Chains A and B, each alone.
Chain A
Amino acid sequence: MPRILTRSSGCSARVDRTPPLIPAARFSSRTCRSTERSAGSRDSGGSRAVHAGPAAPIAGRARAGAGAGPGPRGAMRVKVLSRNPDDYVRETKLDLQRVPRNYDPALHPFEVAREYTRALNATKLERVFAKPFLSSLDGHRDGVNCMAKHPKSLSTVLSGACDGEVKIWNLTKRQCIRTIQAHEGFVRGMCARFCGTSFFTVGDDKTIKQWKMESPEYGEEEEPIHTILGKTVYTGIDHHWKEPVFATCGHQVDIWDEQRTSPKCSLTWGFDSISSVKFNPIETYLLGSCASDRNIVLYDMRKSTPLKKVILNMRTNTLCWNPMEAFNFTAANEDYNLYTFDMRFLESPVMVHMDHVSAVLDVDYSPTGKEFVSASFDKSIRIFPVDKGHSREVYHTKRMQHVITVKWTSDNKYILCGSDEMNIRLWKANASEKLGVLAPREKAAMNYNQKLKEKFQFHPQIRRIAQHRHLPKSIYCQIREQRIMREARRRKELNRRKHSKPGSVPLVPERKKHIVAVVK
């Protein structure tokens, strides 16, 4: 590059030094004359010399270039800019116009500062547009006690209330499409069959009922397909993910064949009432249950035997298996925490998730297995990343009371929570997400913003904005109170350790603290 420039500049310098007409005379070669002639023929005679002046150096250079081999007679070689049309011509009319761009970093300075500003703006916008609450489905006449997702339809969700009423909702219309008086007393648990044709409910009236998913046709009565009358109250139910088998819990864990009226097998270990039982969605023969005597028990359906029991400090209310990681499950505990366990290593939980300020009542995984949502007695729901100890999001509204049940929809977009005050609420899983179809441009911008937020998440200003959440005063005060308590406990332990014999007060990690024992 510099060499070429040097040559050209040298050339121009020579032209500059000599009077303009002389070079024309000097390069009076054939080629030059031909240029002159052609120029003259086009122009009037007056402009001839002027025209020849600038043409001369070009002609001279062309001759120098062609000096080695004899060029065609009379043809003049002129070096011109040659462009490949492929670089700028569209193939079809519908293609985007190609806009050449120089990515030389020198031309686009301050990249960090500019990206920082963009990230800041993106963060601010995210907070501005964070409006997660979508709608509330009201219609129940008592607190919503349980919910179930339809396995095949995203728009359908089922809910059971404390007065024994079951409702089926259409989420797109946000309407109740069917109401069944299923039980007397609470509807304790419900689950849909894996094919989505029917669903099961258990209630306080010691019955298990199977219902058709479709509403009864004209003239038909609203009646269950099957009713099984049990001896004790069933407190929960879950259906196998692939076979016509379901499990109930109460006094014991019963595994039922759909065709029979007595359980295929009953699994017991201990004598307390079991509050929840869940099938593993991946290794479908595995079951997990949690009982009132503070334990979590795992079962194997194939061998019809319990596997292991882990006893925690306080009672576990429900558990949920990770739908993408076969051996992981999360337990919602009374001690305000959630514990994620690896079933192969039950001695200590993989992660302790703490943020709630009251008992956690329900938990449900996102279908991607990256996050889960928890419902708590403190009138809020929180979203936790699986590998983080604290929540990334907290949802609450003024009117939402103790949240009893929560579900994450199968398309990973929405969260449903049923609470004491008879409403089911629909939330966005990603608070600032724009709903509806996005243009490709929008999508690209969204991705870019997301990346920027991720990149600059450690910067104090951005972090402060991104982390800001509004909390109701009650929760806020409780959090503060608990922080103080925790700090006091920590300090006391430190002091005790300091003033006692070294090694006599062992340092117990947080993960071990909440496990009482593992029973084989």
Chain B
Amino acid sequence: MAEEDPAAAAAGSGSESEEGEDGERRHRQLLEAISALSGRKRRKLAERSEASGQVSEFNVTCKGAGEKLVLSELLQPIHPKSTLGSVRKELARVKRKAAVELPLSKEEAKRVVREAAYVTTSKDVGKWQQVVLQNRRAEQLVFPLRQDIATVTPLERATSAWKARTPLEQEIFGLLHKTQQPITDPLLTPEEMASVQAMSLEEARRRRAELQKARAVQSYYEAKARRAKRIKSKKYHRVLKKSRRRQALKEFEQLHKSDPAAALARLEELEQLRMQERMSLKHQNKGKWARSRAIMAKYDLEARKAMQEQLARNKELMQKVRVEPPEEELCEMPEEDTDPAALPVPSEANPWMLGKPSGLAPEPEAQEGPRDDRVPGAVENKDEMEEEEEELSEEEALLQDFEQKRRERAGSPKGQGRDHGADGTEIGAEQPGDSAVPPVCAEELGDSAVPPVCAEELGDSPVPPVCAEELVGTGPEPPPQAQEQLLLSEQLRRVQTMEDVESLAKDELVEEQEKLVALRPGKQAQQQEEGRAGDRHTKKAPAKRKMISLEAVLDGKPQEMDCPSLPVVLEEEEGGIEQRGMITEAFAGDDVVADFRREKRKAEEAGKPQPVNLVLPGWGEWGGTGLKPSARKVKRFLIKPPPAPPRKDQHLPHVIMSEKRNIHAAAHQVSELPFPFERHQQFEQSMRTPVGPTWNTQRAFQKLTAPRVITRTGHIIQPISAEDVPDTAPGSEARPEGEAMPRRKAGPGKKAVFSGKAVSKGKAVPGEKAVSRGKAVSRGKAVPGEKAVSRGKAVSRGKVVPGEKAQPQRSRAR
């Protein structure tokens, strides 16, 4: 339809221009005529000029075949019709459009795709730029970025997943199951569980009440005991003790009457206690307390008493118990044992004498161990002793005395291990004679027993020093080289000792030694000769070693050179004066020499140590303006330094030697400015600030020495991901904020660039803005600024990158 309409319109338009058609017809005829001229007759199709019912398809011609059809002409007559407006518009667009280009070659197409993809991808990756920069500049990075809390899987879960597979495992499991051993929860077996559950509530309550009561009672008792213990009265304690003893006695008697077997058992028990006490060595008078008491006993009555008690107790414990005591004694013995401290000790009694308990059989055999071979007279059998008690008591006193002293002496000098008892016997032999001394004196002796022993030790150790050295010398036997390095003067003696050794065993060694010795004197002599040979030789050697040492040159006594005090120009014989005159004329204005001299003087002045002025005006006198400190004070507080060492250019008038530069230090100094620094002041500043704990507080020290990267042992560091990044990477997905964060500490200078620590934690930046604290505000300011910047960047990139241009091309290619 749409195609027919324009045709009709065309027909219409043709009828309109009649004249034009005539012209055309004529033109066609002309053309035919011309073609006829060429000779070939063309077949001419019949021309249909009017509408007819039968239309041959071969006869169809269009009248204006050669003419150009102008579309707008076709449309013109139906211009007012609005329905065709859209068609017309479309046609107009089609007409405007250029011809479709050829599709791109495959290679080209691929390249276009790649380019587009590269652009988008690099843009995607580019969002990490900020993060990367931030991490690079961060003062401290803590890895792993995400701090996970390790969770421990419960044992039940771990075991439930596991199954027994091997026959052995299965067997073991079968066994375990049979006995219903706990596998999953390894706390209680079923039996145990049952037993635990069996305890009823009532029972539990009762039990609890009991426990509570017991605890209360215990605490009362403890409190009471503490109170009683705090009572200082001696009398109270004595009474207490006595009453206790009485009580015990009474009880025992009762027990004895009612139940002899129980009494016997109790006796046994007591005996056991006694034995333990005896074994414990508590009463040996060796302890710190005992020794201090011994010292104090001289001055303090109390101490003396305590000492005596202690001694008595010791004595008592040390005595040998008769193996088969008579029946009567059985009862009495334990009484003593129950509370031996409560023995009626006469305060004035000799503690040494106390060793013999009055009523109880004083066994001389108690001292058998130590005494047996020393005092042969004391070794007697029991029968004899029983017979002559009186004599024995005296003897025993003596013996005990002696024994005591011996023990004390053994206790005091501990370091000197006294293995052979010969010395002891000697002393014993000496001392008993005057040992009938009042107790205090005896004690004193006991205390002062140390020096004599020492003296004796000194006495019996007098090995001649030579021998001692011999001993030392033979011990290590250093190798020959070492011997050579040792001092020569001692070698002679050694040889002697070696000869001694030689006589004992080694011959070859000694021969070697002899050889060495034979060599040594020769060497010595040589050396001496060398020494005498003169200083020249010895001086030469170091000179060779050192090449030229500046110090050696400069430190030496400067020789007086007779050089003129002014720099001199050597005069030539002829014409010298003229030349000189010329020079002086030329340099008439500037006196170089005087300048130099002045300069040197200045340098000398500067090199001199300055006096220290410690005068404080107004100190100790009236202050105020216009007051001068007194001359006396100035004199006193002006500290003159010691004179400087003589200058090295002292005698070189035409030289200034600066001693400021230290060539030894130069080797340790940085010669050129290292890379990150731009000025030497910066570098010096960085060197000057110390970081050590000597100069900084603990906190500052920790801050200064914080490492750049912290890693945790045994933690896997995962690659960074979008979740690790706080607020940069605008395109990234929703990120959990807070803990899942690289902990960063931005330096003070970097805060403007990055968000600080608090901000980067992402704790609601706007909220922080609201807070009007100094720091928080500055951070808050920094953050939006940064955001704006990043956004700006993104925009600009969008402009620059030809992504939009590439897009349609790609679509066409597809």
Contact = CB atoms under 8 A, between A and B. Distances in A.
A412 B694 contact: no
Contacts of A298: 118, 121
Contacts of B110: 305
B63 interface: no
Size class of the contact patch on chain B: 35 or more
Given A6-B619, A241-B719, A460-B668, A451 B704 contact: yes
28 contacts: A6-B623, A108-B694, A112-B687, A114-B692, A115-B692, A217-B165, A282-B128, A303-B113, A305-B110, A305-B114, A324-B719, A326-B128, A326-B720, A327-B128, A343-B122, A343-B125, A367-B143, A367-B717, A367-B719, A411-B717, A413-B711, A444-B705, A447-B705, A447-B707, A450-B705, A450-B707, A458-B670, A520-B111
B143 A412 contact: yes
A520 B87 CA distance: 44
Interface in A238-264: 241
Interface in B686-720: 686-688, 690-697, 701-702, 704-707, 709, 711-720
A154 B716 contact: yes
A6 B623 CA distance: 10
The 7 closest A-B pairs by CB, nearest first: A367-B717, A281-B719, A323-B719, A111-B690, A458-B674, A307-B118, A326-B128
A132 to B, nearest CB: 17
Contact of B717 (A13, A343, A410): A410
Nearest to B122: A344
Contacts of B151: none
A115 B125 contact: no
Interface in A285-340: 286, 298, 300, 303, 305-308, 323-328
B166 interface: yes
Interface string A136-156: 000000000000000110100
B114 A306 contact: yes
Contact of B702 (A13, A300, A305, A444): A444
A326 B125 contact: yes
A231 B743 CA distance: 49
A105 B690 CA distance: 10
B717 A412 contact: yes
B294 interface: no
B702 A282 contact: no
Interface of A: 2, 6, 9-10, 13, 103, 105, 108, 111-112, 114-116, 118, 151-152, 154, 217-219, 241, 281-283, 286, 298, 300, 303, 305-308, 323-328, 343-344, 367-370, 410-413, 437, 444, 447-448, 450-452, 455-456, 458-461, 520
B620 interface: yes
Contact of B125 (A218, A219, A241, A283): A283
Interface of B: 110-111, 113-115, 117-118, 121-122, 124-126, 128-129, 132, 135, 141, 143, 165-166, 616, 618-620, 623, 667-671, 674, 683, 686-688, 690-697, 701-702, 704-707, 709, 711-721
B716 A152 contact: yes
A461 B117 contact: no
A344 B129 CA distance: 11
Given A326-B125, A520-B118, A460 B670 contact: yes
Given A154-B716, A451-B705, A327 B126 contact: yes
A461 B692 contact: no
Given A112-B690, A452-B692, 9 more contacts: A112-B687, A116-B668, A151-B716, A286-B125, A300-B121, A305-B117, A307-B114, A413-B713, A458-B683
B685 to A, nearest CB: 12
Contact of A368 (B694, B705, B717): B717
Contacts of B709: 368, 370, 412
Nearest to B619: A6
Contacts, number: 161
A111 B125 contact: no
B118 to A, nearest CB: 4
Contact of B693 (A10, A305, A448, A461): A448
B382 to A, nearest CB: 62
A412 B710 CA distance: 10
Contact of A303 (B117, B165, B166, B618): B117
Contacts of B165: 217-219
A323 B720 contact: yes
B672 to A, nearest CB: 9
Contact of A452 (B683, B691, B714): B691
B67 to A, nearest CB: 51
B687 A448 contact: no
Contact of B721 (A116, A151, A282, A410): A282
A308 B114 contact: yes
A103 B694 CA distance: 7
Contacts of A368: 141, 143, 709, 711, 717
B121 A286 contact: yes
A369 B718 CA distance: 11
A13 B620 contact: yes
Contacts of B693: 448
A520 B115 contact: yes
Contact of B714 (A217, A286, A370, A411): A411
B691 A455 contact: yes
Contacts of B115: 520
B695 A108 contact: yes
B695 A103 contact: yes
**Which of A286, A412, A458, A459 has the largest count of B CB atoms less than 10 A from its CB?**
A458
Contacts of A451: 691, 704-705
A520 B707 CA distance: 43
A468 B473 CA distance: 45
A217 B164 CA distance: 11
Contact of A118 (B113, B135, B692): B692
Nearest to A321: B719
Contacts of A324: 132, 135, 719-720
Contacts of A286: 121, 125
Contact of A455 (B111, B686, B702): B686
A315 B686 CA distance: 45
Contacts of A413: 711, 713
B696 A103 contact: yes
A451 B141 CA distance: 16
A308 B128 contact: no
A306 B620 CA distance: 91
Contacts of B128: 282-283, 325-327
Contacts of A305: 110, 113-114, 117
Contacts of B121: 286, 298, 300, 307
Given A410-B717, A411-B713, A461-B668, A325 B132 contact: yes
Contacts of B720: 282, 323-324, 326, 369
A411 B686 contact: no
A411 B667 contact: no
A305 B719 CA distance: 25
Contact of B691 (A115, A307, A325, A461): A115
B528 to A, nearest CB: 43
B117 A460 contact: no
Contacts of A323: 717, 719-720
A66 to B, nearest CB: 26
A460 B665 CA distance: 11
A383 to B, nearest CB: 14
A223 to B, nearest CB: 17
Contacts of B620: 6, 9-10, 13
Contacts of A367: 143, 716-719
Contacts of A455: 686-687, 691
Contacts of A444: 701-702, 705
Contacts of A343: 122, 125
B716 A344 contact: no
A132 B670 CA distance: 30
A154 B670 contact: no
A360 B5 CA distance: 79
Contacts of A2: 616
Given A6-B619, A307-B118, A282 B711 contact: no
